[in-house]
């Protein structure tokens, strides 16, 4: 018992040092997992490691919960062990001092009483040895011997009882220490059990997430294709990106929206890029009148189309062959090989934008304005989308094919003539300049032999290739035969 309290105080001092070290660990752990969260944020901003960023967030969250359990264990260690032991060691020190003092006083009293009886017995025996009648001291000597024996027994019993009490007190104190340590161990078990439960569930998922470092997620692959498509605008040799899957339908231009409402009453209508109608001239005149009236309105109203672009409209019938006869009557200018060469740039088909198109934030789409010339870079459209290069901006991308029309021979001639007129600087009013009449016969024949696109958007007044400009010029100088056919 003399060494118990000093050792206990040393134990408490070491416990405080341990608590301080664990507290420092918790602070370091917080900084460590804050840095882990930061790494997760950086990974989540990367398109190739977004899933790993989520894994890092999960790791930080799991270890945060484990850290909470560690802090609970530290609280238990401080409150249930160190604090209780400090209280016990102070109270026990006073109690043990008082108990020891009492024991020592009682032990001294009993010892002195025994020694006094032993001294009296020695005196009595000396007197008995020097006396002529030693028998008269025999009874008294027996009384002292019996008293000494009793006092010795009491002293021995007191010593044994004190020893027993000392062992009991010592055991109680060790039991208290073990009990407090069990409370701390219980919280430690909860801490480690919680950590095992959380980690055993998450570790397989985390290992699976990093099992294939060289494999990029689908989102990253898709963005890589988009970037390669955008880079293809500056590098013609690079691969063409695919159109966006599941992209939102594009709004129908106001010109088409107004005329599509009457498609149920019309037997056949001209179609942009890939289809023609039986009444192209009449519909085109109506469309031109509507377009002229609409041009006087605010440009802002063109943004509000009532319908949306659809790539599943049925293909209209090709215009009957009789229109070919009417068109060939107005042929007055032979085909020019130098002008026709402008229709295809480096052997590629060219189209002209009928409506404006904005790509927005999508790098795979192509932006263009009305009347921009686009060179097609792929042989055919894909679900209503074509890939080409804007000759004005030199940018490449996917665009709705129904927003454009093919450039015919006549269009190539008129474009070149306009270019030459503007370069001379002597034609101030372009509206009064009438381009020569092109050759319609051969072109319309080629129109019938061209394969139509299955997903073109039908719109009244927009015939394939050169039918727009041809029909307009027919109304400027029609023949009698053409008038009879159109009126019928």
* Domains along the sequence of the chain with CATH: 4-209 (1.20.1270.60), 243-487 (no CATH)
CA-to-CA distance for 343 and 349, rounded, in angstroms?
7
pLDDT digits (tens, 9 = 90+) for 50-106: 888 889 999 999 888 888 888 888 888 999 889 988 888 888 878 888 888 888 898
Within 13 Å, how many C-alpha atoms sit on residue 326's CB side?
25
- Angle between helical axes of 138-209 and 50-76 (0-180°, round to 10): 170
DSSP 343: G
Q: How confident is the model at residue 230 (pLDDT cuts 50, 70, 90)?
A: low
Q: Which of 274-283, 298-307, 353-362 has the highest mean pLDDT?
A: 353-362
Q: Please tell me the least confidently modeled range out of 66-80, 270-284, 349-363, 444-458.
A: 444-458
Closest CA to 395 of 342, 359, 350: 359
Q: How confident is the model at residue 268 (pLDDT cuts 50, 70, 90)?
A: very low
CA-to-CA distance for 70 and 67, rounded, in angstroms?
5
Compute the Cα dihedral for 90, 91, 92, 95 and give only its sign: positive
> Going by C-beta distance under 8 Å and a sequence separation of 6 or more, which residues neighbour residue 86?
12
Share of the chain above pLDDT 70, in %: 57
pLDDT digits (tens, 9 = 90+) for 104-143: 898 888 888 888 888 888 888 887 777 766 677 777 788 8
Higher pLDDT pick, 318 / 152? 152
User: Is residue 33 a contact partner of residue 120, using CB atoms and an 8 Å limit?
Assistant: no
CA-to-CA distance for 248 and 262, rounded, in angstroms?
25
DSSP 322: H
Q: Please tell me the least confidently modeled range out of 19-28, 58-67, 388-397, 472-481.
A: 472-481
Higher pLDDT pick, 442 / 32? 32
Examine the pLDDT at 417 and tell me if it is beyond 70.
no
The reported pLDDT for the residue numbered 125 is 80
> Going by C-beta distance under 8 Å and a sequence separation of 6 or more, which residues neighbour residue 328?
440, 441
Examine the pLDDT at 184 and tell me if it is beyond 70.
yes
Q: How confident is the model at residue 411 (pLDDT cuts 50, 70, 90)?
A: low
């Amino acid at each position: 018992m003399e060494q118990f309290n000093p050792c206990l105080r040393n134990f408490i001092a070491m416990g405080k040092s341990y608590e301080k070290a664990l507290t420092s660990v918790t602070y370091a752990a917080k900084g460590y997992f804050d840095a882990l969260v930061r790494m997760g944020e950086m990974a989540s901003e990367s398109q190739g490691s977004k899933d790993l960023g989520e894994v890092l967030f999960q790791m930080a969250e799991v270890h945060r919960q484990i850290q909470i359990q560690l802090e609970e264990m530290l609280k238990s260690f401080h409150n249930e062990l160190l604090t209780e032991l400090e209280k016990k060691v102070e109270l026990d020190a006073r109690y043990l001092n008082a108990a020891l003092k009492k024991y020592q006083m009682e032990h001294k009293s009993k010892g002195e009483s025994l020694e006094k009886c032993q001294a009296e017995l020695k005196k009595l025996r000396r007197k008995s040895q020097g006396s002529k009648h030693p028998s008269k001291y025999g009874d008294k000597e027996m009384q002292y011997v019996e008293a000494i024996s009793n006092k010795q027994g009491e002293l021995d019993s007191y010593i044994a009882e004190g020893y027993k009490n000392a062992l009991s007190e010592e055991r109680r104190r060790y039991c208290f220490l073990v009990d407090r340590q069990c409370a701390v161990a219980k919280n430690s078990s909860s801490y480690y059990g919680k950590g095992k439960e959380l980690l055993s569930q998450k570790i397989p998922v985390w290992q699976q997430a990093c099992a294939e470092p060289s494999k990029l997620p689908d989102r990253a692959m898709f963005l890589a294709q988009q970037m390669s498509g955008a880079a293809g605008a500056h590098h013609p040799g690079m691969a063409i990106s695919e159109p966006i899957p599941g992209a939102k339908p594009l709004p129908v231009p106001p010109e088409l929206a107004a005329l599509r409402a009457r498609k149920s009453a019309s037997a056949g209508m001209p179609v942009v890029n890939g289809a023609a109608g039986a009444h192209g001239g009449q519909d085109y005149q109506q469309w031109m009148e509507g377009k002229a009236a609409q041009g006087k309105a605010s440009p802002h109203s063109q943004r509000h189309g009532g319908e949306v672009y659809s790539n599943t409209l049925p293909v209209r019938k090709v215009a009957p062959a009789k229109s070919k006869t009417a068109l060939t009557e107005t042929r007055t200018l032979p085909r020019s090989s130098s002008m026709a060469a402008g229709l295809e740039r480096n052997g590629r088909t060219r189209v002209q934008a009928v409506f404006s198109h904005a790509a927005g934030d999508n790098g795979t789409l192509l932006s263009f304005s009305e009347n921009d010339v686009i060179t097609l870079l792929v042989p055919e459209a894909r679900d209503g989308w074509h890939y080409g290069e804007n000759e004005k901006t030199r940018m490449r991308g996917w665009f709705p094919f129904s927003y454009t029309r093919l450039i015919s021979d006549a269009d190539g001639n008129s474009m070149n003539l306009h270019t030459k007129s503007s370069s001379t600087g002597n034609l101030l009013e372009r509206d009064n300049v009438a381009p020569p009449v092109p050759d319609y016969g051969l072109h319309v024949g080629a129109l019938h032999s061209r394969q139509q696109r299955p997903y073109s958007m039908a719109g009244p007044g927009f015939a394939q290739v050169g039918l727009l400009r041809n029909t307009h010029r027919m109304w400027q100088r029609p023949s009698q035969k053409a008038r009879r056919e159109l009126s019928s």
